[in-house]
Amino acid sequence: RIWKRAPDGAWHCSDVLEGVHESTVRSCAWSPDGKLLADASFDGTTAIWEYSGGDFELVDTLEGHVNEVKSVSWSQSGSMVATCSRDRAAWIWEILPGNDHECVDVLEGHTEDVKMVQWHPFFDVLVSVSYDNTIRVWADDGDGKWPCVQTLTEAGNSGHSSTVWSISFNQKGDRMVTCSDDCTLKIWDASIDLSQPTTGEGHESWRHISTLSGYHGRTIFSVHWSSEGVIASGAGDDAICLFAEENSMVEGPSYRLILKKEKAHDTDVNCVRWCPQNPRVLASVSDDGTVKLWELQGDILD
């Protein structure tokens, strides 16, 4: 569903995009220029819709996954789309003129359902998170292939101990936050461009900075970093939490809770997203069937 805001501030549903998918539409993503919308469906396909002349039109369908597609992400240039699926793979597609596309690579490595993919805001790097508890980083090797350049695990990297559901980069692209069924959020240093060949010995890698635990009592399904540096999280405990980064000269970055909105919804909060135009406005959705819009003022979320 497409929602538009009327001049008086009220939101209404302007379009319903239907008749294409044969099963659940799990998630969607706007292209960077806002002209295209990609959706990820349990029927195994990703549909690309174009907004033109006040209407949404289906212009392309990406087929390749063998079962449910969980997430879709546009690269910063808009020339590539990444999708991931329960079939344990992530696919990278090149979007070509004339509503055409080609498969660039199939990224295999996860041993379970891949929950989400997200492009780095600047580097030619893609991150995927999975039911196998790991976070994988894939980078362009310059030869048309995207090998896995790093895997962040529980044992090796202070990673998650259960399904990783969601990932978000901060605006600068030097930090990444992930959330998990283990009820924690983890912040990572993502400042190194893993698509560049390493100089000398010793592999540069993204490393764990901080783990935020004890804030949610259930699986954290979604996390999003606002352009003002506020991290929003939504979880199965029906709550939304907001965190801010603090940088101390001695100890490095740390994260404090700004507020926890208990009972933000009647049940599980599935996704939280900051508004691109207004970094104080947050949208949240839930199994309770509602979409809620919140505004952050000081330390109140309403």
Residues near other proteins (CB under 8 A): 23-24, 42, 60-64, 66-68, 86, 91, 100-104, 106, 113, 144
Q: Which residue lies nearer to other proteins by CB, 98 or 197?
A: 98
For the CB of residue 71, give the shortest distance to other proteins in the complex, in Å.
12
Q: Which residue lies nearer to other proteins by CB, 42 or 51?
A: 42
Q: Which residue lies nearer to other proteins by CB, 61 or 191?
A: 61
- Kindly compute the dihedral angle of the four CA atoms of residues 68, 134, 28, 279, in this order, to the nearest 10 degrees: 160
Q: Which residue lies nearer to other proteins by CB, 67 or 196?
A: 67
Is residue 239 classed as helix, strand or coil in its secondary structure? coil
For the CB of residue 149, give the shortest distance to other proteins in the complex, in Å.
21
For the CB of residue 35, give the shortest distance to other proteins in the complex, in Å.
20
Q: Which residue lies nearer to other proteins by CB, 157 or 233?
A: 233
Quote helix, strand, coil % in the chain, to nearest 5. 0, 55, 45
Q: Which residue lies nearer to other proteins by CB, 104 or 231?
A: 104
CB atoms within 10 A of CB 273: 16
For the CB of residue 104, give the shortest distance to other proteins in the complex, in Å.
8
Q: Which residue lies nearer to other proteins by CB, 61 or 205?
A: 61
Q: Hey, what are 243's tokens?
A: 């965190």
Cβ(140)–Cβ(146) below 8 Å = yes
* CA 72/CA 188 separation, integer angstroms: 22
Element (H, E) at 156: helix 154-157
* CA 185/CA 280 separation, integer angstroms: 21
Instruction: Name residues whose C-beta falls within 8 Å of residue 65's C-beta, 6 or more positions apart in sequence.
Output: 44, 45, 83, 85, 87, 89, 91
For the CB of residue 86, give the shortest distance to other proteins in the complex, in Å.
7
For the CB of residue 287, give the shortest distance to other proteins in the complex, in Å.
9
- Kindly compute the dihedral angle of the four CA atoms of residues 122, 123, 129, 135, in this order, to the nearest 10 degrees: -130
* CA 178/CA 162 separation, integer angstroms: 12
Q: Which residue lies nearer to other proteins by CB, 71 or 210?
A: 71
For the CB of residue 64, give the shortest distance to other proteins in the complex, in Å.
4
- Residue 22 has phi, psi (to 5 degrees) of -100, 5
- DSSP class of 280: T
Q: Which residue lies nearer to other proteins by CB, 146 or 243?
A: 146
For the CB of residue 300, give the shortest distance to other proteins in the complex, in Å.
31
* CA 44/CA 61 separation, integer angstroms: 10
Cβ(223)–Cβ(235) below 8 Å = no
Cβ(46)–Cβ(61) below 8 Å = yes
For the CB of residue 77, give the shortest distance to other proteins in the complex, in Å.
18
**By CB neighbour count within 10 A (0-12 exposed, 13-18 middle, 19+ buried), where does 59 fall?**
middle
